Structure 1
Amino acid sequence: MNTTTFNRRDFIKAAGATAAFLPTFSVLSQEYKAETIGPAQDQVNVGVIGYGAEGQILVDAAIKIPGVRIKAVCDIWPYHRQKARGLGRLGHDVTSKTVYEDYREMLEKEDKNIDAVIIATPDWMHAEHTNYCLKAGKHVYCEKEMSNSLEKAASMVKAQRETGKILQIGHQRRSNPRYMHAINRVIRESNMLGRVTHAYGQWNRSVAPFIKDHPRLDIPIETLQKYGYENMEQFRNWRWFAKYGGGPMVDLGSHQIDLFFWVWDCVPISVTAIGGNDYYNRQMNDNVMAMYEFKTKEGKINRAYYQVLTTSSRGGFYEQFMGEDGSLTIAEIAARGNTVQREVRAGGPEESQWVEFAKQGLVVQPKKAVSREVTSNVAVDARVTAAADGWPLPVDLLKPAHMPHLENFFDAVRSNNPKLLNCPADLAYESAVAVLAANTSVAERKTIYFKPEEFHV
């Protein structure tokens, strides 16, 4: 796995940004304030392909970055194009004349006005849109998953290499300062958790019916068919159809399974997954439970368990990394997970050692221990050790979740340096291999064993 340069760069950036931390709760990233936006040098002019829910989230984050201007938007749905015209009221250069149905027309007419393109279309179109933009001389920020096809994902890696343009894949946790602090400083630099032997991740959602809109908003059937959809149901719920997406495992799991690669700095050797279409009458699995095995560079075997449910939101979404000396619970929303817990055992780390970690700004020392009462009607098994209090991470993100990753992308664009990227295409391809294999394991009801060369293009 060729990620040495990437990991060292991540560590340097995270360590430098947090070196001045005091052992009190602090904030790494400054909160975005609207009044700070103004003229900036090195302006980057941006086109957008796909202005649905995710596209709007990305644009909302991008327009908060000084020097970024939205010049044109493309979407096949008139309803989304109408929304895009509203960007002009926010001071951007989007008008009725710079909103398009066809991305080729946008790139042809706006060629001199666009430096980079944000792509937030259904997975099956990522490769076509990305490769076309790269070959047209544009830098690209493409949402994850790269594709629902490994062949298409590989073509994106090749197109980036051939053109030399910047290609960032939207695994935004890779640029989140709290994740960078936790993984690079807490887990790696300080070795607070000891050897991390296991990991766990989940993304659980409640029951939800197919999305349906008022018929007056429907795209004409001839337009849908022109772009590869049979009807509005497929267009609006593309993640559930094999032609267009990979189901919840790919859509949601790709974010978190990518973290296993980051923490252990290696690729898995196998995945065993079970699941099925047990609740809905849909093409893609509505629940998947997957076990990955990793072999580290030191020859150790580590295991990670991941589940995605669409029938219960119990526990929501978060990740845990469990080591011999401590465990980390973390989530993109800090309220769901933001603590490191010391392992209380014979020969384990002393609390005084963790106090020193707190003084170094790695964690925040709990202000007060949790009180525990001993009552006469409770018998405690002597083999059970009471859990230690959680030590919060001293880093939070007071910006839109995607904003740091977009900032990283635009920094790379301005310097024309792909090495600055936190999630270049070849790195994202590795997790695409693993995530798509989980669906294969479910379908074929067998363990999938990986060869190292499968993770490289």
Structure 2
Amino acid sequence: MSQEPNNLTRRSFLTRTAGAGMVLGAPGLLKAADPQSKDTLHVALIGFGKQGEVLFNCLRNIPGLHFQAVCDISDWNRKKGMNQVRALQGEIPKGYVDIDEMLATEKGLDAVVIATPDFWHSPHTVKCLEAGLNVYCEKMMSNTIDGARAMVHAAEKSGKLCQIGHQRRSNPRYRYTKDVLINDKKICGQITNINAQWNRSLGASQDIGGEKLSKSIIVPDEVLNKYGFKDMHQFMNWRTYTELSGGPISDLGAHQIDIFGWFLNDAKPTAVYASGGNAYFKDREHFDNVMCIFDFDTPEGEVRAFYQVLTTTSAGGGFWESFMGTEATIKISEIAANSAIFREDGAPQWDDLVKKGYLKRKPAPPKPEASADAVASYASAAPEEFELPGGFNKPAHQPHLENFFAAVRGEATLNCDARHAFESEAPIYWVNPSALEKRRIDFTAEHLSV
């Protein structure tokens, strides 16, 4: 049996994931880090809104971290973060409205975790790198490609670590699928097409806030204006404004488009053609639905990758990515129930892979009855369906954060450093222009280079 890349054997994959739930089921049992220990990493949390809280709920499961400061322009968010840290550590961290004040005041910090709105990612990351801190920053890197470039330059000039939050790159299921099943076992044959989607329901896509917004959440106008927001609606719904974000294609699509080139062994697309519109949310600055096609040239041949993001319907199974090859298709998602492998009729049998535990065969679906409207001569035989092995019980972002702090300790390399993240994200910045201009954009070095 050949050696699997990156030590991700079937056995190690199953071993790593089998016990994950035991720790995660009782995070309160983790002992708070000793702030005086030389092995403790001192961390500041920058941005404690919804995503900041998601990340903290992962961070609290990682031993050896001491949360020293919380920075957020919202009193509500900042106090929420400080209280959650106090509940974990038994002491309340310092709270700051302004990042410059925090960087000038706090001593002994090792790293920051940034979960602010997209248009603040680049300024905050650059400031922290220049201050000598390691940075974990949520994706997208920035709302502009030049902002993303500045982050790469700052990381490489400072010599500090900068991990971008494309968390699928640290997900054991994704890494096993890419390294073992696709690259080593080559079960897909030649990948020719990729399909992916994130379809979000209308109910989950509504504006946040409005007249019923609690007074305790309100941020004073002078504070909002100082930090780039016109009003509370912009503050609560920044993802829908063109000056503050890239819209759904970057907010949701970037997670999955990142996987395209990664699974194709870091191939870069040669072109994009996109279409978008405001089918329902007529007053929003960004499209409420976008569809795009990326062209790739790989050593194995051409690949076309289709992606859609919808905010008006959840039909089609929510979010997933599908890698379609001549011998099999792998459908994968952060949700295990949405993941499966389909062997093409006529492709080599996988009995040996099933026997050794690489794959698990699913029961064959019932054969449909003959129908008068069926055109049998045009039909393909139904593919055989298999499961991906093992489970994954950790919160989705936790392995990526674990990888970051292991790298800070010198025990690992980053799974998604700033330069690799930029190479993945650069094509995404051209999707909205393609849709707005209704034209195909053929990529040049100027489009994609740092």
TM over 0.5: yes
How well do the aligned residues superpose, as a CA RMSD in angstroms? Answer: 2.2
Give the structure 2 partner of residue 385 of structure 1: 380
**What are the residue-to-residue correspondences of 1:270-285 with 2, within 5 Å?**
270-280=271-281, 281-285=283-287
Letter of the 1:186 counterpart: L
Distance 1:94-1:435 versus aligned 2 partners, 3 A rule:
farther
* Separation (CA, whole Å) in 2 of partners of 1:94 and 1:308: 43
Q: Does 1:239 align with 2:233?
A: no
* Pairs aligned (count): 432
Contact kept, 8 Å, 2:291 with 2:309, in 1: the verdict is yes
The CA deviation at 1:66 is: 1.1
The CA deviation at 1:250 is: 0.8
Distance 1:98-1:13 versus aligned 2 partners, 3 A rule:
farther
The CA deviation at 1:383 is: 3.5
Give the structure 2 partner of residue 297 of structure 1: 299
- Aligned residue for 2:391, secondary structure, equals coil
* Separation (CA, whole Å) in 1 of partners of 2:445 and 2:425: 14
Q: Does 1:320 align with 2:312?
A: no
Give the structure 1 partner of residue 55 of structure 2: 58
The CA deviation at 1:377 is: 6.3
Contact kept, 8 Å, 2:289 with 2:308, in 1: the verdict is yes
Distance 1:452-1:186 versus aligned 2 partners, 3 A rule:
farther
2:79 pairs with one of 77, 82, 87? 82
Identity between Structure 1 and Structure 2 (%): 42
* Separation (CA, whole Å) in 2 of partners of 1:283 and 1:13: 46
Distance 1:20-1:123 versus aligned 2 partners, 3 A rule:
closer
- Aligned residue for 1:111, secondary structure, equals coil
TM-score (ref. length: structure 2): 0.91
**Deviation per CA, 1:66-113, whole angstroms, max 9, x where unpaired?**
112211110000110121121244332662x6011111112222222x
Q: Does 1:447 align with 2:440?
A: yes
Distance 1:455-1:117 versus aligned 2 partners, 3 A rule:
same
Give the structure 2 partner of residue 358 of structure 1: 354
**What are the residue-to-residue correspondences of 1:98-177 with 2, within 5 Å?**
98-112=94-108, 114-177=109-172
Q: Does 1:399 align with 2:394?
A: yes
Letter of the 2:199 counterpart: N
Report 1 or 2 for greater relative contact order, CA contacts < 8 Å, sequence distance ≥ 6. Answer: 1
**Deviation per CA, 1:349-390, whole angstroms, max 9, x where unpaired?**
23xxx1211233321123x33332645868561432331332
Q: Does 1:34 align with 2:34?
A: no
Letter of the 1:259 counterpart: I
The CA deviation at 1:269 is: 0.2
Moved more, 253-262 or 389-398: 389-398
Contact kept, 8 Å, 1:355 with 1:365, in 2: the verdict is no
Give the structure 2 partner of residue 344 of structure 1: 345
Contact kept, 8 Å, 1:34 with 1:64, in 2: the verdict is no
Contact kept, 8 Å, 2:71 with 2:99, in 1: the verdict is yes
Distance 1:216-1:60 versus aligned 2 partners, 3 A rule:
closer
Distance 1:230-1:39 versus aligned 2 partners, 3 A rule:
closer
Contact kept, 8 Å, 1:85 with 1:94, in 2: the verdict is no
The CA deviation at 1:26 is: 9.6
1:91 pairs with one of 88, 95, 98? 88
The CA deviation at 1:54 is: 0.3
Letter of the 1:46 counterpart: V
Give the structure 1 partner of residue 225 of structure 2: 225
* Separation (CA, whole Å) in 2 of partners of 1:377 and 1:292: 39
Letter of the 1:91 counterpart: L
2:408 pairs with one of 386, 394, 413? 413
The CA deviation at 1:182 is: 1.0
**Deviation per CA, 1:328-354, whole angstroms, max 9, x where unpaired?**
11111112x221110013xx223xxx1
Q: Does 1:427 align with 2:424?
A: no
TM-score (ref. length: structure 1): 0.89
Give the structure 1 partner of residue 251 of structure 2: 251
* Separation (CA, whole Å) in 1 of partners of 2:13 and 2:153: 41
2:182 pairs with one of 163, 187, 191? 187
The CA deviation at 1:443 is: 1.3
Distance 1:140-1:94 versus aligned 2 partners, 3 A rule:
farther
* Separation (CA, whole Å) in 2 of partners of 1:158 and 1:62: 27
**5+ long unaligned stretches in structure 2:** none
Contact kept, 8 Å, 1:267 with 1:452, in 2: the verdict is no
Letter of the 1:339 counterpart: A
**5+ long unaligned stretches in structure 1:** 1-9
* Separation (CA, whole Å) in 2 of partners of 1:302 and 1:189: 19
Contact kept, 8 Å, 2:51 with 2:115, in 1: the verdict is yes
Give the structure 2 partner of residue 4 of structure 1: none
